[in-house]
Structures are given as structure tokens and as C-alpha cells.
A and B are shown apart, each in its own frame.
Chain A
Amino acid sequence: MNTYQSIRDALSHALVRDDTAVIFGEDVAFGGVFRCTMGLAEEFGRERVFNTPLSEQGIVGFGIGIAAMGHTSIAEIQFADYIYPAFDQIVNEAAKFRYRSGGQYHVGGLTIRTPTMSVGHGGLYHSQSPEGFFMGAAGVKVVIPRSPIQAKGLLLASIRDPNPVIFMEPKILYRSAVEQVPIDDFELPIGRADVLIAGSDLTLLTWGTPLYHCETALHMLASPPPQVSRHVPESLRGAKVELIDLRTILPWDVETVVESVNRTGRLVIVHEAGLTAGAGAEIAATVQKKCFLKLDAPVKRITGWDTPVPLQYEKFYIPDAIRILDGIVETLIY
């Protein structure tokens, strides 16, 4: 399955197992602009899979109402770039629903799915990575998968988590990432990072699309192509870099990250969102506090620039493999 198929598969499991579950958003009934809800309306009926008017604050407010009655509401925001009209409903309402009611009400049944990150030609409003804006919204969880298996397991866990979850799907992976996905109903843990490659010299932490750039950068580090080999000292080519997929942005897995950095002494964080006050800032500050005596180099952040995501300049905007390679080298030789 590719990622959109695995998401569709997860949604189908969620609807089968839970009669209260409904899916709604802009254009979801015909299958969604990214095909994630293909055939679900036909299979489960328009009462459970339906279009809404074009209003993001309405979609999230409506979803909160459904969830407040103990039902499962799976809302879609067509692009993460358009989640801001619902910011008030998410931050002031969904996140605070349980706390402010003394635990009497909650909207744990709410999951907001939304495509995120750059896609090659998305420009300002089809490329954004707004996860950092939600990192301070205590009460919601923010989850970002990297692949079809991850998307299915994490989405099912998000839908069933007793808290509202913003589930951000890297849209470039909808068709490009393909792997064997178990067809049964399974969940992957929220709040746990995943160590993809074990290492002892540097911790490379990322999530979503840049994970693939990180993998490329690691190959380049081990055997640099001739054009860049002069920038990669021989002595570093055998470096063992630990690659971690954070998976959950809020609450993030401090234990795994800190344990790793305490072993490696070096941390490079990669994300597509801009640098200033991005999720990397929070992680860097915490690691600096918890690993101060073990750090051999400053925490490096390789991110989008502090500009909007520009159309014709995207190749120079995103933290691609060469920037990551350079960051790893700089951190290793510090």
C-alpha cells in the first residue's frame, strides 16, 4: 500500500469497529482530494462519511460537538495551511475541554487529519508545517507519520486515544512511499519515538518528509558522491549516526531523545518549518538542560528558513540532504 491507501484502510477499520465514528470535511465524500477516503461513503453511507460546507472553524467546532457526546469524530482539514481558521476551536476549545470542565467533559474522540509539508510546488499555502504552533497547546496531541505502516498504526491509535489528536500526513508521501502494510487492525504507540538506525556518534532527530532526506544524507556521509566528497573528511565517513523518527510532536518522547544524546553527545534536529520558535527550539532547549554535561557540540537545527515557503525557491528552502550532510559534518568536527 502507499500512504493514502493505508490511511484509507485505517479509516475503514475505525468505522467498522466503532458505530459512532464519522468522517467529514471538505470533499471527503467523493474520496478526498488526496484519495484518502475513497469508497468510504459508498461503503458506510453518507451519514458517516460526508462533506461539510467550506469552513474550517465549522469543521473543527462541529467535530468537537460530536466528540463531546462521546462519539468518534474524524475531521479532515484539506491542507495544514488552512488549519488556522480553526486555531481558536483547537487551542481554546478542544485542548481545554477536559481541563476546564473538571474532567466531566472531554473531546478525546476527536482526530483532525491534515496533509502537511512541502510537495515540490506547493508555494506558500500548500507546503506548511504548522506543528510548532500547536506544541504549546497543552491538551492536544500532535502526531506525524513517516510511511504507510506508520500512518495506519499511528492513525488508528490517534483515533482511539482519549485526547484530541492533530494527525499531520506528509502529503508528498501519499503516493511515493509504498510498503507492505498489515491488513489487520493494529496500533502504534503515540508519544514514542522510533530509533530507525542505532548509532553512537551523533543523534539525528526528525519527523515526516525530511526523514528521507536524512537517510540520503547518511548514505552521502558514508560514501560521498565525487562532487561533494572534498567537504566530507575521510575520518567522518565511518561515523555512526543514530537516526530517530520523533513521530509524536506533542507530547514528545523526551526519554528516547535524551538517552540517545547522552550516548552520542551530539544532536542535529531537522524539520521543514522555519527555525524561529519551531518545534526544534523546544527540543533543543530541553536537551540542552537535560544533557548539558554530555554535549560535545552545540545542538544544530536544520530547518526551513524564517520565510514563507516560496514556490520557485523551494529547493533552496527545504532542509534537503546536502544541508543535512553539511550539518552533520559541522557538528561532528566541532
Chain B
Amino acid sequence: MTATTENTTLTIGCETGNYHTFCPISCVAWLYQKIEDSFFLVIGTKTCGYFLQNAMGVMIFAEPRYAMAELEEGDISAQLNDYEELKRLCEQIKRDRNPSVIVWIGTCTTEIIKMDLEGLAPKLEAEIGIPIVVARANGLDYAFTQGEDTVLASMALRCPDRQPELAQEKQERNPLQRLLHFGKTKEDIDTTESSYADHPPLTLFGSLPDPVVTNLTLELQKHGIRVSGWLPAKRFTELPTIEPGSYVCGVNPFLSRTATTLVRRRKAKLINAPFPIGPDGTRAWIEAIGAALGVVPQGLAEREQQIWDSLEDYRQLIRGKSVFFMGDNLLEVSLARFLIRCGMIVHEIGIPYMDQRYQAAELALLAKTCQEMNAPIPQIMEKPDNYNQVQRIYELQPDLVITGMAHANPLEARGINTKWSVEFTFAQIHGFSNARDILELVTRPLRRNSGLKSLGWEQLV
């Protein structure tokens, strides 16, 4: 299957699935930092441990709140009792760290030997008195960021379904509101309260760094939309209340299982919106939320334009340039849509997994953006084949390839500019304020190369 640039409608191809990505257990690296009272226990082999140790680089030395339960030959052949072994390790964790929750990450090995983690967890939870959440984030089923999806889907079931406290108390104990009200007087708070429109409760899901959480919450507050809570919160003990019939909206494109769980198991209503990546995405995201809640946002067009204006210096660098996404973290469609709006031409959007229902609004915005920018509609390639992709890259000679570290240096040595895709996962890219950070990343190889242009050693193989 080959990509063509003359597509007129959005087509989604599928290849062999032979591509490079991170194992989904990597989600522990950012989730343990996000959920401050958690402990992540990855139940797997040396291979899993080796990956975490090398992929997480220096974080491993910062006494992280995660560890491997390394399976030995006796565990594989069931000479040892899984329950007793896990109990021993979890008691040790309780003694040393005293977390509010232990998250068990199931791996390929626990799948193959059919270790019943979901069955063991409630029993052990009752025995040691610490909640145990089970997420099967394994390489048999998922890619990279989908690991977070499996964890949040399990956590969604732990959210309380109604506020236990009185209304008055509820306001004061809500951690997010407390954060936003920090340092304000009682009068200030009351003014803020009255500025909210009367709408059903809204919970946002997706793990983001705290400054981005505050930023997006304030952005909605400007339009009178109150965010009742975030899944996940800073602490496991502060998981948001999700009442049946309340609204939920995702902030990242890889959270389809979490969305499904919230809708089916928690009876929440999902707001299908493009994701708040880039000023166009952020505006569409706020508009979709407003539309669902019956609030009309004011002054968004000006706000978006103002951001675009502030990006002009970077947009000049990439306008008319082409980009190829090899695909590994599921952010690809949103990023491609933003870059097309910036004036780039996208050849191919490789993506590990494409949930056309969860990403429906994002896909629609992509098609609309292509039309408005008069840009060719890119080929979306699910489960790509890296070998074939490299052949297509040779043929197309794109100005930029967004790819994993396995291919970046070899492509650079062949004179092809690359940007390491994993950086988009860890950088702050959401909301109006962070649009510049995305372009900072995208333009970096182009800026570097304009500095080296005259040296004459692009090809070094």
C-alpha cells in the first residue's frame, strides 16, 4: 500500500504493524510524577525493567515511586504462588513508601501465563488496606501512550459517584478550586463563583503537567465554564466525582478506552471535540465544550488570531515545507492538523491505532483544515511498516520527518531532517499558551540546519 498525495477524501490505510514505538509500560514514568501519592509496580521480566531503566534515563536515579516485580523462573512455571509473592512485595512497598494506591501494571508475560491480576487485587487490597488498581499496559495489545489510557480507564472506576460532603464543604475541599482560589479573599471567590454559567458538571480526563491543568481550567473559566475535576488529580485520594449524566471531555487523542469506560460504566456524557493542541484545536475544543454545556464562548476568534500573530516568526520558517509522521504516540493527527494550519504540507500520518469514533471531531477538523488551506489530504496509515515508510521517505524527500530515536540518526546521516517524536509526549503542548512550544520543537531541526547550511556535509553515510 502506498501513500498518494492526490487524495481528496480522508482515507485510512493499514500496514503490517512492524514499527518502532515505546512499550506502554513507559506511562509509569509520567503518571507516578503526576499522581503524587501513588506507587507503580510493573509485574514483568528483565526486558521490561531494562526498557524502563534506559528509556527513563536520569529519572531512575531520583528514587522513583515505581519498581519492577521481576518474574523469575519459579513464577513462570507456577512453582511459586503469585498471591503470596505479590503480597510480600506489596507489604514491602507499604512499609517503605506508604502510598495511597498501588498500581499494578500487567505486562506481556503476565498475559501469557494468565496471571489473574484483576482477581488477586481485590483480595490483597482487603488484606493490606491499600487500594490496588490493575492496568494491563502490555506490548501485545497497546502502543506507548495507550498505557496511560489503560491506567486511567481503571482509575475511572475508582472515582466516587456522588459528593459525600455538604455543598458548602464541597466547595472548600475541592482541590482544584482550592488551587485556583489560593491567596484570594472570600469576596474574590464569591465574585468568581457568580461568574460561572449554570451548567451540568464537567470533568476533564487525561494526565497533564499541573501548569497546563491550571491554564486550561482558567481558559474555560473565562467563558463561565467550571471544571469540576480532572482524571487523574494530583493525588489518588482526590479523584474527581463522576455522577451519572455529568459531562466528560478528553484532552488527549489516545484516551479512547478511558472515554468508553466513562460512558459505559459511569454513565457520563462524552463531549466529542478536537483536542486542545495548537490555537485552532484549543478554540475548537472550547467551542465544542461550550456547545454541549449550553454556554456561548466570547472573544475566541480574537484570542486565536492573537496567538497566530505571535507565532508568525516560526510559521514563516515552515510555510510550504513538507512533513512525514512515521507514527508512534497517537498525537499525530492533532499535530498534523495544526501543522497544516501553519501552512505545512503533510505527506503521511502514521499512527499506531486510529479510533475513528473517539477522534471523530479531530478527523473532521483535519479534513476541514485541508480544505480551507487548500492542502492535499494526507494519507493516514494505521499500524505502519517502518521499512516501507523509509522507502517512501526516500522517494518523497520530505523537509521534516517526525520519528522515533531508532530512525532519527540514520535519517539525519542521509540528509533528511528529523524531529524526535517522543518529545511531543513530554513537552507542554496543550492550550493557547503552549502553541509556541510545539513550533519550537518542529522548527528546531530547520533552524539548526539553516545555521549549518553552507558547510556541505549533509550526506554522511
Partners in one complex: no
User: Taking beta carbons and an 8 Å cutoff, which residues of B are in contact with A?
Assistant: none
